[in-house]
A and B are shown apart, each in its own frame.
Chain A
Amino acid sequence: MFNYTIRRLLLAVPTLLLISFLIFLLLDLAPSDPTANLPLTIPPEVREKIRISLGLGEAFHIRFLLWCKQFFYNETLNILEQWWGWDFGGDRLRVLSWQTRSPVVDTIVQRIPQTLWVVGMSYVVGILIAVPIGIVSAYKQYSWFDQVGTFVSMVGYSVPTFFTGVLVIVIFSVWLGWFPSIYDTTLVVNDWSSFVQQVKQMIMPVSVLALYNAAQISRFMRASMLDNLNQDYVRTARAKGIRERSVILVHVLRNSLIPVVTVIALGVPQVFGGAIITEQVFKVNGLGQLLIIAIQAGDVPTVQTLTFIFAVLIVFFNLIADVLYGILDPRIRYD
């Protein structure tokens, strides 16, 4: 298992390099211009100067190598300096956003808390709701509970968050006035009242996203439970006189979780990717909003850096899912 993990990690390096090159190539080929959103009152000569000052005058391979150096070397040294207080000295140019002209990584670090709080929490809540629903739905297949569960998950999966989001804002912010419609990212939780405020501003975005996440996962859970409930070992367990509760929660559930855990692990990178639409609707301004704004503004360094980080997370969580598979299912051995 250990050798396997090392082998996969080593293989990830060329994979990620190739991915970063492909992303850069795609971004370069896409028709976009960082000065496109400026007012028309700014003349073309000035726009050209702005483009040159952003480094767009260089050839494609030079820009790519420069990004690689800035990201893989300069940013790494910078992180080491910040974490351990080392000083490597020298003037290192970091990856700078074309919109803000500030280091992209700093902005990403600034955005992670709200994304993890809102999107991460919605994922956790989604899982906590989905697993029990999946279990009960499968155990009482075609009961009214199963029917309602199926209906709710179909609704949660098929109704887009830009609809549910605005709907809950209209109901709970405009009509009832219970929750704020705009997320305050500067709120510092240091006492009871600020904690209450934080909970209040998280309730709507978290529930909207949790509904969506729960819908997916509960379907997987239900299907997986149904597969296992008809297996011979379940009949054996029952025949041995084991209590029904233990049969379901120990034997069936544990085996059913194997595919579900994979689905959950593979979904984690999406948490870091942020929820572009939900973040926009509730003004959470996390990583998803950062990405979409950067795309609209033609801010290539930000888009490149963010998508690359997502790629790293996806590769990494794929590995985790495979390793977890081996741990959960003793039949699976990689060595």
Chain B
Amino acid sequence: MKALLLGAAAIVAMASPTLAERGSDGELKIIYWQAPSTMNPYLSGGTKELEAASLVLEPLARYDEGGNMVAWLAESIPTVGNGGVSADLKTITWKLKDGLLWSDGSKVTADDAVFTWKYCSHPEGGCAQSEKYNDVTNVEALDELTVKVTFGVSKPFPYGPFVGAQAPLLQAAQFADCLGTKAPECTDANFGPIGTGAYKVTEFRPNDVISLAANTHYRDAAKPAFATVTFKGGGDAAAAGRSVLETGEFDYAWNMQLAPEVLAGMQAGGKGEIVSAFGTLVERVMINMTNPDPALGDERATAKHPHPFLSDINVRKALSMAIDRDLLVEIGYGDAGKPSCNVLPAPEIYKSTANDGCLVQDVEGAKKLLTDAGWVPGADGIRQKDGVRLSLLFQSSTNAVRQDFQALIKQWWGDIGIETELRNIDSSVFFGGDPGSPDTFQKFFADVEMYANNFDGTDPESYMANWECKQAPRPETQWQGNNMPRYCSEDYDALVAEMAKTGDLMERARLAKAMNDKLMQEYIILPLVDRGRVSARSNALGGVVMNAWDSELWNAADWYRVK
């Protein structure tokens, strides 16, 4: 209902007559409490940099608020149906819109796309988005406006290169001398890339403020409505929210990670409102299927030693049943979250309804399940069987909401006779992936851990492949890999392999759902909350369409001043 209302509001906003001419609405003030460090998304994978850059740099196609792909710099989306994608799924041919200009007035050509691929795939460049160009063997310009991308393998979903905020076009002329190890030395280009977007950079102060002005060569002569943009960075989420919702100094504030009651208090000021959209970000508890006992030395937390009690599905199921997901949402996220029973919660066609039972907390059921499985309370109230006590180490990154969640979950697990010790680790260490540190989320030297993850774009193929056997972090992979639970199932791997060669969308959806259901029904991952993107917009700013699938600023060209 809420989404409907938001959607309706967006349509009304878009339908209102925009008779304004370019630059007639003065200054747009945006605040990101994490300040962007560079305007080149290929040199920084951070969200703040991607979004700042999306005002200037644009891809061939991007995702709209419903997760649908829309042609952006391209004329249309190539598909097998229209001949843009070859029958063997190994090539995709994009056609650029005619008459596109860079902000310096030069023409946008297919060579710019070819160059962008070379720039990001250079082995010494350390390109943060090289995943987007995975398996690409060649990109060539067939004519001035036609780009052909060739993959080494067949790609059922060939929309990685040049799609979304992560893979925009760079101007070949500007970055020609910035390939490979030279990339970081091109400070001027990295701070002020020439783009096709509605705005161009006039001054970039790293980690502080970006000044932009309307791009006089933008393809729509009536846009953008604003003459200049001030993109301020720094501070904290509360201060950013205050500047939009309470003092009205800014028009748009990004990422309002605040307690629900704080946000409600700010909104009461009446100067603006919260906008949100849900994508694929799920806060989840990962179960360690291997034994993290330090006594095992080098073989600790590897597949050689199954977990002493979490390898029993009844224990895992009981852990899930004891959790009240509604309460977690209410305390931690408010409007910015909804309870989730799936690790793959969106887009709609991939969303399974088979696991919705988890929405209801069932403490008695969990107790009965454990008792029936032979786990009976000992003298101290903690359940045990054959000398194994149900005592967990629960780790997460340091973050106020996560520590609240940990405390609540500890209490619920205590209610069903499972003892929990809590631990939190600074996020730069926890997510740091340093193989020398024992505290990373990959090493998982704990029994359960909690964090959030999602995937780029709308295609879940590589995300669902995270839980293949071979993705388990282990000493041989320098503890890298995405399969934190060390889940290993031949059936699951077979589903992954099948999806990799299936082109039909409905069939892909069936496979993705099957994988999700398998993980859920074996209780390998306990999803908690589907987290949305939340930002604040001033009442004086119109045209904002919140988007969870691309940059939030994806349609900034359409924003205008409400008078």
| Alpha-carbon distance between A39 and B452 when the two chains are bound, in angstroms | 10
Task: Tell me if B239 and A31 are in contact (CB < 8 A).
Answer: no
What residues of B have a CB within 8 angstroms of the CB of A47 in the complex?
433
B396 contacts A by Cβ under 8 Å = no
Task: Tell me if B432 and A33 are in contact (CB < 8 A).
Answer: yes
B206 contacts A by Cβ under 8 Å = yes
B137 contacts A by Cβ under 8 Å = no
What residues of B have a CB within 8 angstroms of the CB of A43 in the complex?
131, 482
The 8 closest A-B pairs by CB, nearest first: A53-B126, A33-B432, A101-B184, A36-B432, A44-B480, A100-B206, A99-B37, A38-B45
* Min C-beta distance of A45 to chain B, whole Å: 8
Task: Tell me if A101 and B190 are in contact (CB < 8 A).
Answer: yes
B456 contacts A by Cβ under 8 Å = yes
Instruction: Pull 19 A–B residue pairs with CB atoms less than 8 Å apart, ordered by A.
Output: A31-B434, A36-B428, A37-B46, A41-B455, A45-B480, A46-B127, A46-B130, A49-B126, A53-B125, A53-B183, A102-B187, A102-B206, A107-B207, A173-B247, A181-B239, A185-B205, A283-B239, A289-B207, A296-B428
What residues of A have a CB within 8 angstroms of the CB of B437 in the complex?
31
Chain B CB within 10 A, most for which of A31, A44, A186 = A31
What residues of B have a CB within 8 angstroms of the CB of A36 in the complex?
427-429, 431-433
A52 contacts B by Cβ under 8 Å = yes
- B177-190 to A contact mask, C-beta < 8 Å, 1/0: 00001011101001
Task: Tell me if A185 and B208 are in contact (CB < 8 A).
Answer: yes
Task: Tell me if B46 and A100 are in contact (CB < 8 A).
Answer: no
B451, closest chain A residue (CB): A40
* Min C-beta distance of A187 to chain B, whole Å: 10
Task: Tell me if B45 and A31 are in contact (CB < 8 A).
Answer: no
* Min C-beta distance of A49 to chain B, whole Å: 5
B124 contacts A by Cβ under 8 Å = yes
Q: A53-B124, A169-B242, A174-B242 are in contact. Are A285 and B181 (CB under 8 A)?
A: no
- List B residues 198-237 near A (Cβ within 8 Å): 203, 205-209, 211, 230, 232-236
Task: Tell me if A280 and B431 are in contact (CB < 8 A).
Answer: no
Q: A110-B205, A185-B209, A283-B235 are in contact. Are A96 and B184 (CB under 8 A)?
A: yes
| Alpha-carbon distance between A101 and B181 when the two chains are bound, in angstroms | 11
A281 contacts B by Cβ under 8 Å = yes
What residues of A have a CB within 8 angstroms of the CB of B131 in the complex?
41-43, 46
A111, closest chain B residue (CB): B208
What residues of A have a CB within 8 angstroms of the CB of B481 in the complex?
44
Task: Tell me if A289 and B454 are in contact (CB < 8 A).
Answer: no
Q: A31-B439, A32-B432, A99-B37 are in contact. Are A107 and B209 (CB under 8 A)?
A: no
Task: Tell me if B130 and A38 are in contact (CB < 8 A).
Answer: no
| Partner pick for B44 among A99, A180, A181, A184, CB 8 A cutoff | A99
What residues of B have a CB within 8 angstroms of the CB of A298 in the complex?
428, 432
Task: Tell me if A182 and B239 are in contact (CB < 8 A).
Answer: yes
B350 contacts A by Cβ under 8 Å = no
| Partner pick for A186 among B130, B185, B209, B453, CB 8 A cutoff | B209
- List A residues 35-80 near B (Cβ within 8 Å): 35-54
| Alpha-carbon distance between A49 and B129 when the two chains are bound, in angstroms | 11
B128 contacts A by Cβ under 8 Å = yes
| Alpha-carbon distance between A289 and B35 when the two chains are bound, in angstroms | 11
Could you list 18 further interchain pairs (A-B, Cβ under 8 angstroms) beyond the known A39-B47, A41-B456, A110-B205? A31-B434, A33-B434, A37-B428, A39-B45, A47-B433, A48-B480, A53-B126, A96-B184, A100-B191, A101-B183, A101-B184, A101-B190, A110-B208, A174-B246, A180-B247, A182-B250, A283-B239, A293-B207
| Alpha-carbon distance between A103 and B46 when the two chains are bound, in angstroms | 20
B134, closest chain A residue (CB): A43
What residues of A have a CB within 8 angstroms of the CB of B236 in the complex?
280
* Min C-beta distance of A30 to chain B, whole Å: 9
Q: A31-B439, A35-B433, A186-B230 are in contact. Are A102 and B191 (CB under 8 A)?
A: yes
Task: Tell me if B235 and A280 are in contact (CB < 8 A).
Answer: yes
Q: A39-B47, A100-B37 are in contact. Are A281 and B239 (CB under 8 A)?
A: yes
What residues of A have a CB within 8 angstroms of the CB of B242 in the complex?
169, 173-174, 181
B481, closest chain A residue (CB): A44
Task: Tell me if A186 and B456 are in contact (CB < 8 A).
Answer: no
| Partner pick for B126 among A31, A54, A181, A186, CB 8 A cutoff | A54
B249 contacts A by Cβ under 8 Å = yes
Task: Tell me if A283 and B232 are in contact (CB < 8 A).
Answer: yes
Q: A49-B130, A99-B37, A182-B31 are in contact. Are A285 and B184 (CB under 8 A)?
A: no
Task: Tell me if B235 and A182 are in contact (CB < 8 A).
Answer: yes
A256 contacts B by Cβ under 8 Å = no
What residues of B have a CB within 8 angstroms of the CB of A189 in the complex?
none
A160 contacts B by Cβ under 8 Å = no
Task: Tell me if A101 and B433 are in contact (CB < 8 A).
Answer: no
* Min C-beta distance of A317 to chain B, whole Å: 27
Chain A CB within 10 A, most for which of B203, B232, B239, B242 = B239
| Partner pick for A32 among B181, B183, B208, B429, CB 8 A cutoff | B429
Task: Tell me if A182 and B249 are in contact (CB < 8 A).
Answer: yes
What residues of B have a CB within 8 angstroms of the CB of A99 in the complex?
37-38, 44, 206-207
